[in-house]
Each structure stands twice: as structure tokens, then as C-alpha cells.
Structure 1
Amino acid sequence: MSGSALVVGLGLNGLGVVRSLAAVGIRVHAFDDTMGPFTATRHGTKAKAPLAGEGLVEALAVYRARLDHDPVLFLTREDGVATVAANRDRIPGYRIAMPERDVVEAMVNKDRFMPIAARAGLSVPRTVTLRSADDLALLEKLTPPLIVKPSEHVAAYQARFKKAYVFDSAADAAPMIPDMLAAAGELVAQEYVPGDDGSVFFCLGYFGAESDMLAAYTGYKTASWPPRVGGTAGCAPAPEAHARLAADTQAFFAAAHFQGMGSLEFKRHAQTGAFYMIEPTACRTDYQSELATLNGVNLPAVQFADQMRLPLPSAQPRHRFGWRDPGAVASGAVVPKSGSGWRAVDALWRGDDPGPWLASGRGRIARKLGLGGRR
């Protein structure tokens, strides 16, 4: 296939993107800031580069100067999305699937996407925004339990706190919120939708220039780490929910006039069965996006074809495979290996691409032996 792709970020997310693109013969180059075990994949070429900020802008310019064509850009982290959105006029020569900057910024802020959800007619848990300790009184407007998290990803917050916290009452939340605010700058508090990790669903999609959903796949979490409030430790197909959640996802991104890779997370109420939208992911692949590729819907290949003005690859959805993060399992997550009609695939290990798994194993052994700084 003509053209090439540049993937910014080679964590587990980026590894899935590289493997998805390589599977259909697309030439891939990847940036990574640590050159860790994921760069041991046999697919594509790699280079050390910053993944956000001015360093990324400069690295993109240097890389593009080496090429005789415009590569398709794939982003895997929110800080990279923010950098590209703010510097589009300084990043010529790339095929970038992304809407206007104000749309991007609304998508990554848990307060600002609420009006978009309302326009799309989606149900969202009752939410308040906290910007100072004076806003603590707003918590009394919500029915507990409450889930509290930063409005946006902030490095200073992530270094000290979990992704989110669930509190049984406003009084329980009050002691922690000043410190959380100091680190994050802005928090959102929502009414917690009853249900375990298996109640969390997501629809992964790619949207064309007219905000039309060109491909999509729906799954659900089989486990989160940490439980209840963490990221995806395991997930599996959810074909029974696809029609409903794909329609809601299309409605949301159309209301935003969105283009690019996007997904929505939902939670199904344990008592009523109603779905509530939790948050979007915009202009980048989601952590578990490879679930779609494993089941016949190669979203990175769709983005590549759309940006290159090529015929879209045919999507042949199947529902045979789940996805399982071995790092979360090693940390203590209890992730099922199989379920009704599906078996979980290890997100790291692949028989035809064992390098990342082997490199990760060597790294774990070196750390246990205290050899982290030795070659």
C-alpha cells in the first residue's frame, strides 16, 4: 500500500496501532520517548522523540523533511493531541484527522463536552464542576455515591492521585478535594452510576470529514485496574449493545462536527439497564482499541485509507476475541481469560511478534535483580 504512517507513542496502545497498520501492509514509523520494550516489535522503524510539547513539534518537522510524501499521523496520548491541535499551522506535510482546535479542547475536558452530549440527546450522570474549595457546596446537589476526577489529564495530578475516586458522601469527599484541586486545577464530580466493571461499555469509531462513522466496534470491560475507577485491564466484544451505542456515538460526534478517531465510554445502570455516557476519547486511539482489530474492524487501517483517499477496507466484524493487559494482571487485576463465545488475547504477546513480550520480561527480571541501570 502506498504512503506511510507515523505513530506517536509506543506504549501498549501504540503497539496495537503499529500491529494493526502492519497487518495490512502499511509502512510504519513510530516515535517513543523512552524506547522501552514496546519498541522491540518487529514491525516498522522507531526513533526516540518527545511525545508532546515543543519537542514533538520539532521532531515532526525533522522527520517530515526526510520524506517525499505526506504521512498519516496517528496519536495515542492526550498530551500529543493537545500539542497537535494547538500547533496545526506549524505541522505542515502531515495527513491529520482532527477537527478545529475548539472542538478538540471541548472533547478532552469533562466539563465542556456535557453541552455536546445534551445536543445529541444522550443521558449523562448529573455533574458539577469544582474549581476552588468554595465549590464544595455544589456536591450537595448530587445524590451519592460520588465519583470525582480531574476535568482533563494533568501530569501533576497523575503523579499523586488515582485516575478517579468514589466517595460515599460529600462529607467523605471534602477532605481530599483541596489537594486534588491544587494538583488538577479543575475537577468534576458525578453521581456514580451503580454497576461493577462489567457494566462499563465503549464504542470505538472512526469519523470522516462529514462526521460520518466509517467504522465502529463495541465492547465492554471485563475488569478495570484499579477496580471501579481505573483503566481497562480486560475487555471483550459486546455485539448485543452495538446498535444502540453506535447510534449514540454517531449522534455525539456529529453534534460536535468531529472528524478523526473517536470513542465513547458508557455505563449501564445495574438496576434500570439504562446507558449513561461517561466520557469521550478524541483524535487518538483508545487504550483498548486493538480489540476492534482483533475482531475484524481495523480502525487504524480505516483512518489511513480515508486520509489517503483510498477505498476503505472492508470491515467483517466477529466477536471471538477479548483483550487482556498483562501489566494490569501482574499488578493484581483479576481478568477473565474467556467468556461467552470469546477468548482473551494477551495485549503484549504475539507468536509472530514476540519481541515486546520478551523485552518486557527481561526488564522485569532486571528490576528484580537490581540491574535496572546496567546494560
Structure 2
Amino acid sequence: MPVRADRDVPGLIVKFGDYPLHHGVVGAIRSLGRLSVPMYAITEDAYTPAASSRYLRKSFVWPTTGAEDPGRLVEGLLRIGRPAVLVPTDEEAAVLIAEHQDELAGTFLFPRVDPALPRRLASKQGLHELCVEHGVASPAAAFPRSYDDIVAFADTARFPVVAKNREAFVRRRRPAVNGTTRIGTRAALLGLARDWGEEPGVILQEYLPHEEAEDWIVHACFDQDSSSLALFTGVKVRSWPPHAGMTANACVVGNPELAGLAARFIKRIGFSGIIDLDLRFDRRDGQYKLLDFNPRMGAQFRLFENDSGVDVVRAMHLHLTGRPVPQGEQRAGHRYVVENIDLAALLAYRRSAYTTPHAPARASGTELAWFAGDDPLPFLTMLARSVRPGAKHLYQLWRTSRRGSTSTK
């Protein structure tokens, strides 16, 4: 059954914050645009890769930080004033839409959900509590409220441990750590904690050693009854930064056990819409442990498509516009590569003990995050905008190496 989208209902990509090099945004624009759905997007400026896509009808240039007053953001969305399916690409956008759905519903289409649920899922503490409540495995975790709590934790913890910002929204305003941070010793933890203030906004988590694990991902879209419209599973081959960052290379691998685990969890919590889950299979106890729950489209969602041509973004648009969602098998063995980060990830993983025994030896097909023959400009724009940050990074590495060599003379 071919995918037949409603071409009278546009899609609007909603993102808050300054991160112009986002391949997921480009993927969503292409996915619906190739079905002749008119596409619009909020962009940082007029020269982002997304803004250069041939499938984008118009970009709304709206520089934001993600830390603005929610009322101001809602007003800005309503000023766009185009009836459209909203496609959030970050936690800030997903939470804003959920918490202000009554105000937005007159203009936009989006899955209706418990207004408090996306914020709780995006919170590391909220997700951990939901996992405990519903019997889903997750790493052991502590949520210190003071420096003394951290000292008490350090006295009994088994190092290394992992520190993460407790709430997704803190990363924009006052991040305690720059993403997932592995801390090797008690002294290192206490040293970092001195800068976290009187109320440290962190979660301290059990470290799951990558040499004893395999990283899996689940992308899915659920209807108002929390029943699956499309559900896919795959294995993460490489990420950047290594073992803790964005997917750089991944493959579609069927995993009925994992699919069932995800579907049951979604049913119990009553979520509707698109999800992106990161799980780590711990070989030591044979459990899939939920690390992250993104209540929105994931950047690598284009890895997954069924043999009817449906991905999670298409599934949501079809469902919200009253169209049937064609079913089908996922593209087993398909590979997804993020060109601008996978080479660095490949070099890092050569020194790693991490393995992915479930990944196919040879991919059945490859989708690139940036380059597409029918839409080449986003790739070229990405390259142009990467030159300056890349050069700055290399210069910083050079300065660091010179200081190191000077100090040894």
C-alpha cells in the first residue's frame, strides 16, 4: 500500500535553541517533502542546512536559546499561524507543546498527551522513577540534593560513575556537566561537585561498561490509545562522543523482545506520539536498561522505514490527518551514517573494546544523514558551516599539544 499523505496539511519543524547543524531536521523535511507535503521550519538563520533544502517551502528565522519564557514561545508559534502538523525535534519543544496543548490545538495538529508526561520522561530523575514504578530495568542512580549527599554517595559508590544533568532544561541555563560524563575516582567526583552549587542538578548513575554491553535504539509512533502505529529496533554501532553521544552509525536489527518491552512501557505510561529510546543491553545480567527517553523525533529516525515507506514522522502526519498508516516489515540490515561525525567515531572505536555482535556484517542499504542526490544543498551547507568550528577545534588541540610538549622540556 503506497504512502498517500494529505498534501493540504503542512508540517512545521519546531526547535528551540542554537544548534543549526541538526541532520534530523533535514531528514524530517525530506521525509514529508518527498510526499509533496508542504514543509516549514523554525531556523536559527536563513543559512542553515535545513533552510537550504529544496523540500522546505519557507523557514521562519527565529533565534532562540531554549530558555525563554514559555508564554513567549507559545505566542511566537501562534504568530506563525499556519495550520500544520507540529514536529518537535528537542525536549524543549516537545514539553512546550504538551504543556500548552489547549492554546495550540486551535491552530496546530499534534498528539494529545498527559501535559505533565513529556517533561517527566525528559527528566533523568522522572524517567528513573517511572522505570522503577513499571518494572523497567535502568541503571542504579542517586539524586543528591547537597554536597554532603555527594560525599556520602562517594564513600560507598563503585567507580567509575556517570554524571548527567538531572533535568533536560538545565543544559540550556546552568549545566552541571557537558552531557554524559564518566567520572573515574572519588577525588574527581568531589572536585567537580564543588562547582555544582548548593543544590546540584545532577544524577549520579551506575556505569555500564561498554565492553560488557551493546547499545540499542527504539523509534516508534503511538496513537491516542498508546497502540503502535510504527515501531522499529536497531543497534547503535558508533556514537560521538564515544559511547555517550549522538548516533554516528547504526543498523536496523529486528529485536522482538526489545520491541515488546518498549510497547508495554508506553502502554503503561499512556504516551502518544513519537519516541526515541536509548537502551544498553548489559551482558552481565542479560537485561536491557533504559538510559534515555526522548518524547520526540530522534535525529537518526531516517534509519527506520518499513517496506511500505513509513517512518515515524510520516506515521504521525498520516495519523493526525486521518489517513491510514500502511504496515510493513522494517528494512532489516539497513545502515545509517552521519557523515560529519562518523569518521571521528570510527577512529575512537578502533581503540575500544565495544562490539556489536548483532550488527550485520554487510548492510543491505545505506542512508546518509546529510547527502541526498535529490537534495544536495543541505550537505554542502553543512560542510561550509563546519569549517570554522572544525578549524577552531583543531587549533585548540594544537595549542594543548604545544603546552604539553613545552612543559616537558
Category of TM-score, reference length = shorter chain: 0.7 to 0.9
Instruction: Give the aligned residue type for 1:118.
Output: V
User: Does the 8 Å contact 1:200/1:266 carry over to 2?
Assistant: yes
Q: Which of the numbers 32, 37, 51 marks the counterpart of 1:26?
A: 37
Residue 57 (structure 1) aligns with: 74
User: Does the 8 Å contact 2:101/2:112 carry over to 1?
Assistant: no
Residue 231 (structure 1) aligns with: 246
TM-score, normalised via structure 1 length: 0.86
Most deviating of 164-173 and 250-259:
164-173
Residue 362 (structure 2) aligns with: 341
User: Does the 8 Å contact 1:202/1:266 carry over to 2?
Assistant: yes
Q: 1:367 to 1:277 in 2, by over 3 A?
A: closer
User: Does the 8 Å contact 2:301/2:311 carry over to 1?
Assistant: no
Most deviating of 33-42 and 210-219:
33-42
User: Does the 8 Å contact 1:197/1:224 carry over to 2?
Assistant: no
Distance in 2 between residues matched to 1:39 and 1:212, nearest whole Å: 34
For residues 18-70 of structure 1, give each alpha carbon's deviation from its aligned partner in whole angstroms, at most 9, with x where no partner exists.
Answer: 11112333221111123312311110222212455445322321222xx4xx3
User: Does the 8 Å contact 2:221/2:229 carry over to 1?
Assistant: yes
Any idea what SS the aligned residue of 1:175 has?
helix
User: Does the 8 Å contact 2:212/2:282 carry over to 1?
Assistant: no
Residue 152 (structure 1) aligns with: 167
Gapped runs of 5+ residues in structure 1? 371-375
Query: How far does residue 80 in structure 1 lie from its aligned partner after superposition?
Result: 1.5
Residue 328 (structure 2) aligns with: 315
Distance in 2 between residues matched to 1:24 and 1:140, nearest whole Å: 57
In the TM superposition, what are the counterparts of 1:83-102 in structure 2 within 5 Å? 83-91=96-104, 92-102=106-116
Gapped runs of 5+ residues in structure 2? 1-5, 350-358, 393-409
Distance in 1 between residues matched to 2:212 and 2:42, nearest whole Å: 33
Any idea what SS the aligned residue of 1:199 has?
strand
Q: 1:205 to 1:367 in 2, by over 3 A?
A: closer
User: Does the 8 Å contact 1:301/1:313 carry over to 2?
Assistant: no
Q: Check if 1:269 corresponds to 2:285.
A: no
Q: Check if 1:129 corresponds to 2:135.
A: no
Instruction: Give the aligned residue type for 1:122.
Output: V
Query: How far does residue 316 in structure 1 lie from its aligned partner after superposition?
Result: 3.6
Residue 54 (structure 2) aligns with: 42
Q: Check if 1:3 corresponds to 2:9.
A: yes
Structure 1 segments of 4 or more deviating over 6 A?
366-370
Query: How far does residue 308 in structure 1 lie from its aligned partner after superposition?
Result: 1.3
Residue 373 (structure 1) aligns with: none
Instruction: Give the aligned residue type for 1:292.
Output: F
Query: How far does residue 157 in structure 1 lie from its aligned partner after superposition?
Result: 4.6
Any idea what SS the aligned residue of 2:263 has?
helix
Residue 189 (structure 2) aligns with: 173
Residue 400 (structure 2) aligns with: none
Q: Check if 1:105 corresponds to 2:119.
A: yes
Distance in 2 between residues matched to 1:49 and 1:195, nearest whole Å: 39
Residue 401 (structure 2) aligns with: none
Any idea what SS the aligned residue of 1:100 has?
coil
Instruction: Give the aligned residue type for 2:182.
Output: V
Q: Which of the numbers 258, 269, 272 marks the counterpart of 1:256?
A: 269
Q: 1:365 to 1:184 in 2, by over 3 A?
A: farther
For residues 118-169 of structure 1, give each alpha carbon's deviation from its aligned partner in whole angstroms, at most 9, with x where no partner exists.
Answer: 23321111111123212111344543321111112321455x8431111234
> Larger Rg: 1 or 2?
2
Q: Which of the numbers 290, 295, 301 marks the counterpart of 1:289?
A: 301
Q: 1:364 to 1:215 in 2, by over 3 A?
A: closer
Number of aligned residue pairs: 359
Instruction: Give the aligned residue type for 2:166.
Output: S
Q: 1:325 to 1:184 in 2, by over 3 A?
A: farther
Distance in 1 between residues matched to 2:212 and 2:345, nearest whole Å: 12
Any idea what SS the aligned residue of 1:101 has?
coil
Any idea what SS the aligned residue of 2:111 has?
coil
Distance in 2 between residues matched to 1:189 and 1:324, nearest whole Å: 31
Distance in 2 between residues matched to 1:40 and 1:244, nearest whole Å: 40
For residues 166-193 of structure 1, give each alpha carbon's deviation from its aligned partner in whole angstroms, at most 9, with x where no partner exists.
Answer: 12344432211232x3499511111111
Q: 1:366 to 1:176 in 2, by over 3 A?
A: closer
Q: 1:269 to 1:198 in 2, by over 3 A?
A: closer
Instruction: Give the aligned residue type for 2:332.
Output: H
Residue 229 (structure 2) aligns with: 214
Distance in 1 between residues matched to 2:26 and 2:280, nearest whole Å: 27
Distance in 1 between residues matched to 2:178 and 2:248, nearest whole Å: 15
